[in-house]
Amino acid sequence: MKILWIIILVADNLLPLLLAHFYPNYKHKEMALSVLGSRQSPVKWIYNVWCIISGIVFCIVPYELYKENSSGLMIAIWVLLAIYGIGCEIISGLCPLNESREDEDVVTKIHGGTSAIGFMTLLVVPLLLAILQFQATNIIMGAISLVSFIVAFAFFCFFIMGEKEKFANTILRYGGLWQRLVLVSCYIPLAVWCIIK
């Protein structure tokens, strides 16, 4: 199970790089990952099916880790990762957005809402992991998780600020880049955690 999760964590970051080659005019730095699964995307089926598979794994594997350490914090981590898996992965895969922001329908709103909730729950996980590891006197793992949380939070702030019109001509406009860096920052402590468990 742990090996499966590490594969998912790595593939979640590498698959979009591969699929983008088959999506003309897709720009990694500027476009969100969800655009790869949009209704206009030539790779929507591959990306959306992958999201659903990834989401299911995010719901199941943390439970296996929880069984090894059934503390209150571990329950919280499992629940948050399950919310991320359902909201940001499974529902996103089942409810692909419309690439055009001007043509926002109900499905796109569902996608946007659940993705936002899932993304924010994922952001909290490295912080809880840090607390869990410090309590277990695992200083190195705790430090990795804490630094990952701080870095992920900074990138998340950049991502949100980039949506504002006044930052349209700054480096903050690269929402796709910030989104990817948030994911990488949140995934690193999860991967390390799987390896050392």
Structural domain boundaries of the chain?
2-196
pLDDT score recorded for residue 68: 67
3-state secondary structure 33-52: HHHHHCCCCCCHHHHHHHHH
Angle at 152 between CA 148 and CA 153, to 5 degrees: 120
Tens place of pLDDT for every residue, the chain, 197 residues? Answer: 778 889 999 999 999 999 999 999 899 899 999 999 998 899 999 999 999 999 999 999 877 776 766 678 888 999 999 999 999 999 999 999 887 766 778 888 898 899 999 999 999 999 999 999 999 899 999 999 999 999 999 999 999 998 888 888 888 889 999 999 999 999 999 999 888 76
Task: Tell me, yes or no, if the pTM score tops 0.85.
Answer: yes
Taking the C-alpha atoms of residue 92 and residue 112, their distance in angstroms, rounded to an integer, is 8
Q: Give the chain's end-to-end CA distance (angstroms, integer).
A: 12
From the list 49, 51, 41, 16, the residue with the least C-alpha distance to 97 is 41
